Structure 1
């Protein structure tokens, strides 16, 4: 509801800022802005301003000019000026109120009042502005002598002068009553400033509260400044903090100040545990990878540092038993995950024996498939896991991005492993201890990949025997005095719970379903895949290259060795092997990344050569066109003989023979050493007419001999 003489503040409209309602004449409300020396009344529909209030666009705030003055505390000059201005305002407001609220008539009234009191019209405007802005009472016209003074000078107040209204409680308490309007102000600044990515502190938010609602704006030169009201007219920080806590929404605050992911990861309520999601061993396995905090050396030369290895782990949620592990340089990727899943179904006695570690079946009994695998989206999303799902009835659950907490068990185990490695292994990362001038810990790397794998195996075996302090034991477990170690929990769960463990009878078929898939094309030159040509006995016997030309088929492949690809059968339980043909034998033994690199390099080389060939073709065409153009020009410049077209065409063979004789004379080999020609002396002489005719006759005889020779040769051809 809108009230007379109430001050309201617009929330997000800076130019409107604060307003005071000076008259309510239903359905019109008149108001003035509290900023400006000549702020005139404006009007708005009562329904519109009530809508703005209900929607939160405006908020009622304490009257910034609400002060209690006693005449005994005022100077004679202040009282005199107040009375003079009050006489002008009271007479004018009572007599001309409707005209002053009317924009068209207002200026005329100001002119009339100015003439009556013999003052400037602008002064009349400022007196009425002060009256409207500061509460429509006599004390609103008091001059602001208390704000007078030079810039940078401290204002001295009299000890007798008291600023602000009397305190409501004791003399030691400050602040105001927290009304519903003040709570709205609290909510507004919390929403606008506190719940933002800038992560302002609550103290900063309180400062913005005072700036927005409990301060006066003024200018020193061109610089805008704020003057906070005295302590008796503002809420204290303790009041603000108290009501912030009462109205607090911790989840919303954290999500808006940080992110939803951060809340879910580190601050959500933990009211359950992972074991409640399982029915026993094998219900759920979690798989994840980590980059170990240690640098390794090459197995060929211990002076060569090869970086940090990738450790993949698979763990049973119910018992916390490690069921699969992979240590290598692949990943984090599908290939690394594939190796961990393959190890998951491998007999661990045989696996450990490869690294000269002797164990019994009971120390690491896991070689099974689970019902559900929980994995990151990175490794499993985008790859063809349908075969794994369809052929082995395994469900794949991908976690949300950046939600490692959803695989909390395996994540915690990785932290434990890295912690032990950092304390013991040479070459381990020691960032917290390294200072300028210290030796680079990477230079201490001594372990190769095989030795590091042995360490990981021992850590896994130790984990399987270790007691889990926070494991929620069931009543039956406590009754049987069960020790909460992964091995005991695994064995107890198999005996007393249902679980869904599966045995893989043929590990080759599992690998077939784990390998990545792709599309190959059948051509006359073989089965084309990744730019390589393959052939198979089945394709040759069934004449695929003729009957299925240009058709696509699905294949599986191991990117670490492209010597073979495999064509799975419809049931997914058998396959045909395809081998590299001689046309692609140069890539034998290479892995996919190498082949793609060579193919890219070849393509770049071809592109460069193609550009050179285009350039050469263009230049050759230009040269040819130049020669042709020159020949055509010379032909046009040659005198035309009166020879018919028939004769020109008839003598082609004879002309060819004559040209051949001349060409032979020029092309013949002379193996003798030609003497160097000496410069000849040029002797000028005058040729007689008889001599010239003689030479002409000699040239004619030569031509006759050539023609005769031509005719003889022509006769032989016939």
Structure 2
């Protein structure tokens, strides 16, 4: 030190700035000390020796305290920042909180009141046992309770200290204290939870979904759920048809529902395709199909987004590539089992179902088993698919136009007078941020949403999945001319799995061009089927043909055996074996053939069949002569007749 004054941080700042709870001992001590010196601290006479003694004496007489107390309070007040909190006591330093104590012969901690025995300290040997039990049992995904881990630890303690009585064993409270002291809950929580559950439900959230968007129409979230309701058939309400699937497409920026699908098609690319196509559909026409009359301003959504975020499922693969390339829509897939990545649409499902559950019948309950006097909720189903869809649409319209988003995080520049209602946020965002959405013809969007596959081309037609198709454009292009036809070997086609009657050819690399092909007569048996039916029928046909082929090969073996047997018999009867020279046989071939032909003609000629009588014909005698009887005489009367003489 060279005697220069150095500036340092206030060592008492953390004490004077801390909050003091109402009614605490620290606060009572502080207020009492402040009452003693409050009238004198502003007196500048305290800074001179002559007047300081007189002021201190006055404080002592007025408050009944000692001189040491007054000087201690004044010194603390001046040293610690000259504020009221400077008089707080140093109770935070009491007890050695957080410091490790070295166990000795004396039992640490408070004495026992209820449990027998004095207890034992946690020695390094016991600490090693506790640490081993915690590491092996508690710090993993499938972990037992702390009580079970403690019980397992007692077995190890008994192994190294067999002489220790049960009442002197380490207690469960000591085990818990060691666990909390040595292992921070941040580390234990992550190790005791699976990586997926930790990321989805535990990890801290540092941002929001809205910050990832540039405005309305930039990012959509799509997801599906199975509705908690049973429906009945539209054709026969006595038939329960099960639970429908609901797909929702939600705009992230405004929380506006932009597309939907309600039907019995399971969560798949097919139903997701219908929901995405609904985003470009005129909502006035769509609602009119279900008996709802709306204005265009009630659901002003008709266009394609820049990004679609979906599960790692139906939109993960090559089926969506044509749609993505044709319209420049980027497809993003959330990680597996990470529903929090699409929290907006996931939360809407719960809200949408809570709206209709109290008012309709057939709602799924916790169990289907009937309690005493109860009833199976599936038997209460009364809504059809059209009626349920109408209910969902009505809920969507209310959500878009009237639902206030209480936890919506507003973007920069959004006026305070703008209510957090989806349609209001949508219209404001279009006017101030992103502008109008990209639109496209509905038919073109639907075709590019269809799955695409490579089909082969031959003179029989365009073949895909065992079905043959033709179209006028391909006929004019000469694809089906036999022999000299000029055709590509393979062609990219789009198909709708729900109907095998048509496919759509992509004749060029331009994804906005397509030809419609119809099912050829060669594949007429597939008319009216879905491609799922085609796949099942084709598989059954292949199975039948394969089984028949095995049977045919078996019978072919018998055929070859018969042919070989006939050939062997012919060889045995060959004239060569009789000593006749082959040159001699050749001289008579023409004559022999004529003789064989005559024999064959006589044998195979058609002749009328002569009827054969089952009984001989009746003989008519000439001149009434009787027929001589050459039968044996009848001796019945002679042998068995009655004797009249006796």
Decide: shared fold, TM above 0.5: yes
Q: Distance in 2 between matches of 1:528 and 1:519?
A: 9
Aligned residue number for residue 315 of structure 1: 250
Checking the alignment, whether the CA contact within 8 Å between 1:515 and 1:556 is kept in structure 2 is yes
Instruction: Tell whether 2:555 aligns with 1:616.
Output: yes
Aligned residue number for residue 112 of structure 2: 172
Cα 1:361/1:195, change in 2 over 3 Å? same
Q: Distance in 2 between matches of 1:270 and 1:639?
A: 101
Q: What do residues 527-575 of structure 1 show as CA deviations (whole Å, max 9, x unaligned)?
A: 2112112223333333334565562221112122222222234232222
Aligned residue number for residue 575 of structure 1: 514
Aligned residue number for residue 491 of structure 1: 427
Cα 1:676/1:184, change in 2 over 3 Å? same
Aligned residue number for residue 695 of structure 1: none
Instruction: Tell whether 2:294 aligns with 1:330.
Output: no
CA RMSD of superposed structures (Å):
3.1
Q: Distance in 1 between matches of 2:577 and 2:555?
A: 37
Instruction: Tell whether 2:403 aligns with 1:469.
Output: no
Q: Distance in 2 between matches of 1:364 and 1:295?
A: 28
Q: Distance in 2 between matches of 1:474 and 1:523?
A: 59
How far did residue 661 of structure 1 move?
A: 4.2
Q: What do residues 218-273 of structure 1 show as CA deviations (whole Å, max 9, x unaligned)?
A: xxxxxxxx957347975432232123223334454344434111112222223433
Q: Distance in 2 between matches of 1:393 and 1:242?
A: 59
Aligned residue number for residue 200 of structure 1: 144
Instruction: Tell whether 2:495 aligns with 1:560.
Output: no
Counterpart pick for 2:392 among 456, 463, 471: 456
Q: Distance in 1 between matches of 2:580 and 2:269?
A: 85
Counterpart pick for 1:265 among 200, 221, 228: 200
Stretches of structure 2 lacking an aligned partner (at least 5 in a row): 1-102, 617-646
Q: Distance in 2 between matches of 1:389 and 1:440?
A: 46
Instruction: Tell whether 2:381 aligns with 1:445.
Output: yes
Cα 1:280/1:666, change in 2 over 3 Å? closer
Checking the alignment, whether the CA contact within 8 Å between 2:260 and 2:278 is kept in structure 1 is yes
Q: Aligned runs of 1:139-154 on 2, under 5 Å?
A: none
SS at match of 1:584: helix
Aligned residue number for residue 584 of structure 1: 523
Checking the alignment, whether the CA contact within 8 Å between 2:456 and 2:462 is kept in structure 1 is yes
How far did residue 643 of structure 1 move?
A: 5.1
Counterpart pick for 1:362 among 287, 297, 305: 297
Aligned residue number for residue 326 of structure 2: 391
Q: Distance in 1 between matches of 2:569 and 2:322?
A: 73
Q: Distance in 1 between matches of 2:149 and 2:496?
A: 59
SS at match of 1:397: strand
Cα 1:639/1:622, change in 2 over 3 Å? closer
Q: What do residues 372-419 of structure 1 show as CA deviations (whole Å, max 9, x unaligned)?
A: 211011111013333333332322210001111111111111112223
Q: Distance in 1 between matches of 2:144 and 2:207?
A: 33
Q: What do residues 503-544 of structure 1 show as CA deviations (whole Å, max 9, x unaligned)?
A: 314222222321111101121222211211222333333333
* Deviates further, 659-668 or 575-584: 659-668
Counterpart pick for 1:277 among 212, 233, 241: 212
TM-score (norm 1): 0.64
Cα 1:281/1:647, change in 2 over 3 Å? closer
How far did residue 176 of structure 1 move?
A: 5.0
Checking the alignment, whether the CA contact within 8 Å between 1:283 and 1:500 is kept in structure 2 is no
How far did residue 423 of structure 1 move?
A: 2.3
How far did residue 490 of structure 1 move?
A: 1.9
Q: Distance in 1 between matches of 2:466 and 2:184?
A: 59
How far did residue 448 of structure 1 move?
A: 1.6
Q: Distance in 2 between matches of 1:182 and 1:451?
A: 68
Aligned residue number for residue 24 of structure 2: none
Stretches of structure 1 lacking an aligned partner (at least 5 in a row): 1-65, 67-163, 218-225, 679-718
Q: Distance in 1 between matches of 2:301 and 2:499?
A: 29
Checking the alignment, whether the CA contact within 8 Å between 2:459 and 2:485 is kept in structure 1 is no
Checking the alignment, whether the CA contact within 8 Å between 1:388 and 1:514 is kept in structure 2 is yes
Q: Distance in 1 between matches of 2:303 and 2:577?
A: 101
Counterpart pick for 2:313 among 373, 378, 383: 378
Q: Distance in 2 between matches of 1:562 and 1:574?
A: 20
Q: What do residues 100-133 of structure 1 show as CA deviations (whole Å, max 9, x unaligned)?
A: xxxxxxxxxxxxxxxxxxxxxxxxxxxxxxxxxx
TM-score (norm 2): 0.71
Q: Distance in 1 between matches of 2:452 and 2:345?
A: 28
Counterpart pick for 1:191 among 135, 139, 144: 135
Q: Distance in 2 between matches of 1:336 and 1:645?
A: 80
Q: Distance in 1 between matches of 2:319 and 2:228?
A: 31
- Say how many residue pairs are matched: 503
Q: Distance in 1 between matches of 2:577 and 2:461?
A: 65
* Deviates further, 649-658 or 231-240: 231-240
Counterpart pick for 2:565 among 626, 644, 647: 626
Instruction: Tell whether 2:551 aligns with 1:604.
Output: no
Q: What do residues 553-612 of structure 1 show as CA deviations (whole Å, max 9, x unaligned)?
A: 211121222222222342322222222222123322322111112211221222232233
Counterpart pick for 2:611 among 658, 662, 673: 673
Aligned residue number for residue 158 of structure 2: 215
Aligned residue number for residue 651 of structure 1: 588
Aligned residue number for residue 182 of structure 2: 247
Cα 1:549/1:479, change in 2 over 3 Å? closer
Q: Distance in 2 between matches of 1:531 and 1:639?
A: 56
How far did residue 466 of structure 1 move?
A: 1.3
SS at match of 1:261: helix
SS at match of 2:407: coil
